Amino acid sequence: MDASVRMGERLRAARVRAQMSQRTLAEKVGVSHTAISKYERGLDVPGSDVLIRLAQALGVKVEYFFRPSIVTVTVPVYRRRRALPKRARDAIIVQVQDWLERYVEVERLFPEEQAQFQLPPEMKRRVSSLDDVEDVALALRDHWQLGLDPLDNLAELLEDRGIKVGMVEAHDKFDALTLWADGDPVIVLRKGMPGDRQRFSMAHELGHLILEVTEDLDEEKAANRFAAAFLVPRPAAYMELGRRRKHIYIHELHLLKHKYGLSMTAWITRARDLNIISHALAKRLFREFKRRNWWREEPGDPLPPEEPQRMKRLVMRALAEGIITRSRAAELLDKSLREFWREEETRHGLIPAAVCC
């Protein structure tokens, strides 16, 4: 591909990610919108001063425009609560493409560390009922040797099993998506989701990757059932709640939420689906949640969100071993090292600036 065309594609991608029109970008940079159009179509190349202003306006490094595209992705499957505007969808895809390119670049520095997503060929994945879905969730836990215990960090577990997990800034109508990049499975989440919703979304997307759903079963319902069954296996639910209950206290649901990382409302649904509680009791509990506006924010302390760490670890390792420079590390992290360490200090109490920055 011609260098000017490649740079034009990257410029358009950065503009879409920033959700700017050509005219808005042109005004910020001080050129005509016709010039922006020509740059994006590869008919003209901006001078160095304009290129710097473009990078500043779009919040990217100049090097971004010259980075070759090295990842081919499939059409994503979205998990969303309402219709997502096209501009928001496009911005998500551009962010995902950029993140994956950086991820793959650093991953290639350590080819021996790449986990492969594999499932045993004999594992039954085709499902025609929700009972089948329960069986697949148990079979996957057995294959991954997870037992019935709560999953402490689902993002780390998925990455250890060869599924890339990333997070993007996105419209609040968006929760997650699943796609394949060069044959590898990818799950992308919206930043800022509560931890319980985030974990359910990850498990839901895992369901899309694992299940082969027949036409007579709703795929979204199957993925939802898989998510609940993977996070709280059927035997674990019986162990925690018993086989039959006439009532469940809110405080009990709160404790279970923090033990298994499954929301209180999802626990009610799980108990109803397993016939531990009646549909009538589930309906009364849901009505109480709605009356108290607990649908938006459940009572008690919230579950902290998880954050994928594998890419960060690979970048830090490459930097520590002298494989990449500090500027290259900043480009791969998409932020300066000083900003990166400041965020890590805030999040984890680390103070590495005197040593590393």
Helix/strand/coil (H, E, C) string of 105-152? HHHCCCHHHCCCCCCCCCCCCEECCHHHHHHHHHHHHHHCCCCCCCCC
What pLDDT was estimated at residue 5?
A: 83
Whether 72 is in a domain gets the answer no
Whether residue 87 sits in one domain with residue 41:
no
Whether residue 201 sits in one domain with residue 83:
yes
Whether 71 is in a domain gets the answer no
Whether residue 192 sits in one domain with residue 86:
yes
What pLDDT was estimated at residue 82?
A: 58
Whether residue 272 sits in one domain with residue 168:
no
Whether 305 is in a domain gets the answer no
Whether residue 180 sits in one domain with residue 108:
yes
| DSSP summary character for residue 303 | P
Whether residue 94 sits in one domain with residue 213:
yes
Q: How far apart are CA 191 and CA 306, in angstroms?
A: 10
What pLDDT was estimated at residue 115?
A: 82
**What's the number of domains the chain is made of?**
4
The reported pTM is: 0.84
Classify 175 as helix, strand or coil: strand
Whether 163 is in a domain gets the answer yes
* Cβ proximity of 128 and 203 under 8 Å: no
List the domain range (segments joined by +) for residue 13. Answer: 3-66
What pLDDT was estimated at residue 182?
A: 85
Whether residue 86 sits in one domain with residue 53:
no
Mean pLDDT per block of 10 residues along the chain (357 residues) reads 78 83 92 91 90 88 75 69 74 87 91 85 94 97 96 96 94 89 92 96 96 95 98 98 96 97 98 98 97 93 95 96 93 90 81 51
